[in-house]
Amino acid sequence: MSLSAQNLNAKFLRSFYFGGSLSANQGVILILKLIYEFWGFCLNGGNSLTQPGGMASSQVTGSYLSQATGFESGSNVLLASGSDGVTSAGLPYFTTVTTAPFSTASVGKWLVLWKSGSTSTDDSIYPITKFLGSGSVVVDPTYGGTSVGANGSVPQFTSRTNINYRVVDFYEVTQLSGYNDGQYMVIQFNGASTLNPGQAASQAQFIYKPTNVAGGEGPAADFSAVGITLSPSGSWDGNSTFVSESYQSFIGDGNSGPGSAGHGGGDWFDDGDATEINITLIGGPTFLIGQWGGREAFGSCFQIEIPRRLYPQANDPNPICGFSMSANGIFTNAQVGYGYAFRWFPSPYDSPAGPRRWPILMRCYTGAYWSYFPWDTGSVEGGQIGVVSLFNNPITSKFLSTDGILGQGGVNGQSSVAGQYSLCRAQVLSTRWTSDRFPKFMRIGDGADRWIHVNGGVLWPWDHAIVTRPLFVGF
Amino acid sequence: MTLHVCRDFLTTGTNLSDSCAEMTPYFMAMFLYTVLGYTIVGQTNFNLTGSTLLKGYGTNGSLNQGTQATQYAFKCPTGTYTVTTADIGRILVLKSPGNPMINSGLFRVTGVDTTNNYLFINYRAGATPPAETNMTWGLYENELVFLTTVNWPNGGGGVGNGIAGTYQGQTSSPQSRIVMQCPSSLAWQVRICYENYYDYGGGGGGSTMPGGAIYSSGITQAVGFGGNSVGDFQPGGQHTHTALFFNVHAGTWTSCTSGIWLSGATQARFYIWGDDQTGTVFMAGRSVVGGGTDSFVHFGIPEDEEQPLPPLTVQRLFTIGANQSGNSGNNGIYWNCGPAFSRGGMGFGLSNQPVSCIYSLYNRMDGGLFYENATLRGADYANDSEYIAATELLSADLVVGTLDNNYENGGIEQLILEGRRIGRAPIVRLGRNNYGNYQTTTDPNQSWIHLADGMYLPWQGPILP
């Protein structure tokens, strides 16, 4: 089995900053709206200015989305759109050729940019910082943009024309009336088969859940415990259910592990408000990562991905996994079952229907298993994973980092199921791991195999970009 | 790659006071020379191809003469060697061109037919050998004769060259050792050495080494380049014998060489896997009489090598095996490497000196709390995967330069840290470890054998109980 690096074709929304004060409910609405724009247009958009790509398309009735009226393209939300955008290399200007979408009121709104089929990291969401004319504004290119040079730089625009754009007011979308728990959005991984031949376009549903669900917290009126439901076969019926699948949704794990006070949490803002928050989205054809934190909220994140299938297609046709952590920071030195050491992973063999938590296994660089603890201790230097020099080859200027694979074994709070043992089902591609002693934000790797240290030894896809805003707040 | 397998060679058992550990280099050397096509670079008191040990050698031999009475008969080509009753008990080594996983290997001669010039062998497979011709063969004296030629008195005593404060097992030292060169165009070499008392501090008697600490396994296999006519690599040269590289005598270098060491066994079964193109070898010994421990050694070139390749070929080589000889060390067959495991490996760093080498396995992140299950392969509920209705096998990586000490936690930091994956561990694969030890997989070809601790190696057909 060769587990080589995969070109993830990642795009980025780097630390989207929202300076106002929102409730937790409004905070999760904002996050889902960002996902809608980033996933639906920047990552999967075609040439339609109102119809997102990458949404559940197999429905027989209904929709991929249930939100307040106007969520997608209401007049207060979608202020303008067009397909004649132009950017120039190194310059922070966005101009149009014939359309005139801007006014002085555009400042403080956001510009969603994409080109159909493009792999450019310029496809992202940008704040409008200055009005220059009805067809010209200044934006902050560092929200997306392209990092230039082998060692990275502050991201900037490249030269492009015929750019599709949407001018969006993300604040107004949070002010619409008609949001309730149970509303949802179902995204679809059309790129699944490019990784795993024959795989269906698997789906994932984000669904608002009350924060007083079992293990949750917060007032009953809150629905900021967003659940995620995975559909390996991509069978959303467009109305209320996934056909022939009955996998349960999962909410974010809190900061109390299953071995102590239950998973807890669930609230993506930890019962606080969404005030002065920074949100980062990283996505590609086979994965989506979201992370946010703010003045009143610790760091939270979710991650959904199509892992590389390691069993024959017939035995595991449609692997998709994910997890969510609520106001928990990020760390791995915890028991399996929470922390960053597992994935919810629906299995065709789950009985009763799962999904269950699958431990992540990673390469040990000190032998058959870590000496004592995975991320720390051990009295010999070379036995300490926490020692930077263990992972740093000063001669090659390369760093060791490991991929992760998903196997099925008993975890804390979830006993093993007889007959459902799996040593190695799939490989996680959108995360790698290294020493937690490396500085946060350290960027490693070369070419398409480039990563950033999020914290706690966790590496996410990155492009060596340098960002001056607070990044991965709360981690 | 053509993988040859010595499937099950049983030591004589005639003299059960003899140490199988001491016989092991002989079995390995015969296999390397006759089956894999290694050449001899140099030796001291390890005259494998001298007339005392090598009785006959040639090509165009044939196995299984076609009748029930002769199915285990090997025919030495007329004019090459004339069999006699003195051959009974000797060791016939065969290289099979057509059935390398079952007809290659070491076989005990159990009888002769002087009329037809047949050597009858103990095939030890629970099956009939496929009839085959054009076999390369070598007939060697039995291991008891070999032991009389070894310079390694007192089971690891002996002296070196007498130069205090250095690694004495070189130059004029009489201890037995041999350097052989692999058939690959890379022309790397392996040095098989009986380490002397001074160097390995056997019995706790090493004068400068604390508490019975020892340099190495009592018998080592090191890989590299530059072997000379007396069977030595050079101090400061390109090889993985750390004590010789630094030419030192100090306990701080304990366990920085490795080999195979069947501690205590006086009769054993040996299994050897070897690639006649790369020269890579995995050898395992299984104690039958005398108790003690099973053991293995693994050396050569990785599969799926990390690209780009390092500047020097020696930086691609590895050896992993037992690195302590005392009974306190469990030199069994298991994946663990590193301090406190009596198992370790060495590679050659980009810093141009020996560095550690380990098997890098997938492990759960939970570590301490679930320590006993940390490997997942070791979970007590492990079973065949329902996805494939079979036992899963994974690869292990070889990673060098991630341990600064091979002996004990808290030991002195000796080895340079320069972590680098060199490739996939060749031949061996990883699976659940609650599969029966020395049992084959249940697929029709019985394609793998589980030695122990989840170490699986290629197999073909049945195995004797």
| Model pLDDT for residues A64-97, shown as the tens digit of each residue | 999 999 999 999 999 999 999 999 999 999 999 9
**A474 compared with A176, residue with greater pLDDT:** A176
> Are B252 and B210 within 8 A, CB to CB?
no
**A84 compared with B156, residue with greater pLDDT:** A84
Q: Would you call B404 helix, strand, or coil by DSSP?
A: coil
pLDDT of B23 higher than 60: yes
**A336 compared with B415, residue with greater pLDDT:** B415
The per-residue pLDDT for B208 is 29
The residues in A 397-416 lying below 8 A from B, measured between CB atoms, are 398, 400, 405, 407, 409-412, 416
- CA distances B290 to A128, A268, B13, B263, B374, Å, are 81, 63, 11, 9, 33
The mean per-residue pLDDT over the stretch B362-391 comes to 71
Asked if the Cβ–Cβ distance from A423 to B334 is below 8 Å, we say: no
Residue (of A117, A461, A113, A67) closest to A303 by Cα position = A461
Cβ of B450 under 8 Å from any chain A Cβ? Answer: no
The stretches of B274-334 forming alpha helices (DSSP H) are: none
Instruction: Give the confidence band of B126 by pLDDT, cuts at 50, 70, 90.
Output: confident
Most confident listed range (A132-141, B281-290, B371-380):
A132-141
* Sign of the dihedral defined by the CA atoms of residues A72, A73, A77, A78, in that order: positive
| Bond before A352 cis per omega within 30 degrees | yes
Cβ of B308 under 8 Å from any chain A Cβ? Answer: no
> Are B179 and B209 within 8 A, CB to CB?
no
Asked if the Cβ–Cβ distance from B402 to A390 is below 8 Å, we say: yes
The per-residue pLDDT for A386 is 56
Asked if the Cβ–Cβ distance from A422 to B335 is below 8 Å, we say: no
What distance in Å separates the CA atoms of residue A297 and residue B43, rounded to the nearest whole number? 71
The mean per-residue pLDDT over the stretch B172-188 comes to 96
> What is the distance of C-alpha B458 from the center of its chain?
16
Measured between CA atoms, the residue of chain A closest to residue B384 is A421
Instruction: Give the confidence band of A149 by pLDDT, cuts at 50, 70, 90.
Output: confident
The residues in B 420-449 lying below 8 A from A, measured between CB atoms, are 420-421, 424, 431-432
Q: Which residues of B touch A392 (CB under 8 A)?
A: 417, 419
Return the minimum-mean-pLDDT range out of A9-13, B190-194, B247-251, B343-347.
B247-251
Element containing residue B197 per DSSP (H, E): helix B197-200
The per-residue pLDDT for B157 is 56
Instruction: Give the confidence band of A384 by pLDDT, cuts at 50, 70, 90.
Output: very low
Cβ of A341 under 8 Å from any chain B Cβ? Answer: yes
The per-residue pLDDT for B411 is 58
Q: Which residues of B touch A379 (CB under 8 A)?
A: 409-410
Asked if the Cβ–Cβ distance from A381 to B404 is below 8 Å, we say: yes
The per-residue pLDDT for B150 is 92
The minimum CA-CA distance between B302 and chain A, rounded to whole Å, is 13
Summary mean pLDDT of chain A: 86
pLDDT of A131 higher than 80: yes
pLDDT of B341 higher than 60: yes
Residue ranges covered by each domain of chain B: 3-44+152-458, 54-140
Q: Which residues of B touch A361 (CB under 8 A)?
A: 362-365, 376
Optimal mutation site among A364, A371, A398, A425, interface B, most CBs of chain B within 10 A = A364
pLDDT of A338 higher than 80: no
Place of tokens 């098997």: B359
| Bond before A52 cis per omega within 30 degrees | no
The tens digit of pLDDT for each residue in A182-233 reads 999 999 999 999 999 999 999 999 999 887 655 555 555 688 889 999 999 9
The tens digit of pLDDT for each residue in B240-253 reads 998 899 998 777 77
The per-residue pLDDT for A152 is 83
The minimum CA-CA distance between B428 and chain A, rounded to whole Å, is 12
Backbone conformation region of residue B6, classed left if phi is above 0, alpha if psi is from -120 to 50, else beta: beta
**B140 compared with B159, residue with greater pLDDT:** B140
> Are A349 and A420 within 8 A, CB to CB?
yes
The per-residue pLDDT for B364 is 74
Asked if the Cβ–Cβ distance from A380 to B388 is below 8 Å, we say: no
What percent of chain B is predicted at pLDDT more than 70?
Answer: 89
The minimum CA-CA distance between B169 and chain A, rounded to whole Å, is 29
Cβ of A420 under 8 Å from any chain B Cβ? Answer: yes
Strand partners, A21: A275
The mean per-residue pLDDT over the stretch A232-246 comes to 91
pLDDT of B371 higher than 60: no
Measured between CA atoms, the residue of chain A closest to residue B375 is A369
The residues in B 329-368 lying below 8 A from A, measured between CB atoms, are 334-339, 341, 349-351, 356, 358-368
The stretches of B307-455 forming alpha helices (DSSP H) are: none
pLDDT of A334 higher than 60: no
Asked if the Cβ–Cβ distance from A409 to B364 is below 8 Å, we say: yes
Query: What does chain B come to in residues?
Result: 465
Asked if the Cβ–Cβ distance from B351 to A395 is below 8 Å, we say: yes
What distance in Å separates the CA atoms of residue B238 and residue B313, rounded to the nearest whole number? 9
Closest residue to A367, CB basis, from B338, B395, B405: B338
Q: Give me the amino acid identity at B434.
A: N
pLDDT of B429 higher than 50: yes
The per-residue pLDDT for A270 is 73
The mean per-residue pLDDT over the stretch A39-64 comes to 91
Closest residue to A366, CB basis, from B338, B365, B395: B338
Closest residue to A423, CB basis, from B336, B349, B392: B392
Residue (of A262, A233, A225, A194) closest to A27 by Cα position = A225
3-state secondary structure A254-281: CCCCCCCCCCCCCCCCCCCCEEEEEEEE
